[in-house]
Amino acid sequence: MCDYPECFESNIRKAKKVHKCCECKKDIIPGEKYEDFHGIWNGEANNYRSCIKCRNLRWGIQYIEDCDEMAFGQLYEYLESITSSYKKKVTDYWVAHYLYSAMDNN
Ligand SMILES: [Zn+2]
């Protein structure tokens, strides 16, 4: 599940145009914040954009799993495969993290 890039840069940006979240496939609309992630995997550069909800969820899983970088685009597939008690742990972490970032926005 972990997919470590050789190097990466992650920024939180405010969308100037519509982007698609690489995890939930929903539109990131202009004015909405998103994570812009550039990385190099096996010598190949890639760019992934995630809405804040998916980004926080991914960070929560990485934190619990002690994994620095899970593969992009597999978040929901991964969530399907985990047990409900584990899911609760991830959700609790995510809710805390989400509340924190919501406070940060105000
Ligand atoms: Zn998303």
CA distance 23 to 50: 7
From the CA of 103, how far away is ligand 1's center (Å)? 20
Domains of the chain: 7-105 (3.30.1740)
Give residue 65's pLDDT: 73
From the CA of 54, how far away is ligand 1's center (Å)? 4
Give residue 70's pLDDT: 75
From the CA of 60, how far away is ligand 1's center (Å)? 14
From the CA of 21, how far away is ligand 1's center (Å)? 5
Exposure string for 90-105, b = 16+ CB within 10 A, e = fewer: beebbeebbeebeeee
From the CA of 42, how far away is ligand 1's center (Å)? 25
From the CA of 37, how far away is ligand 1's center (Å)? 13
Low-confidence ranges of the chain (pLDDT < 70): 1-3, 67-69, 83, 94, 96-106
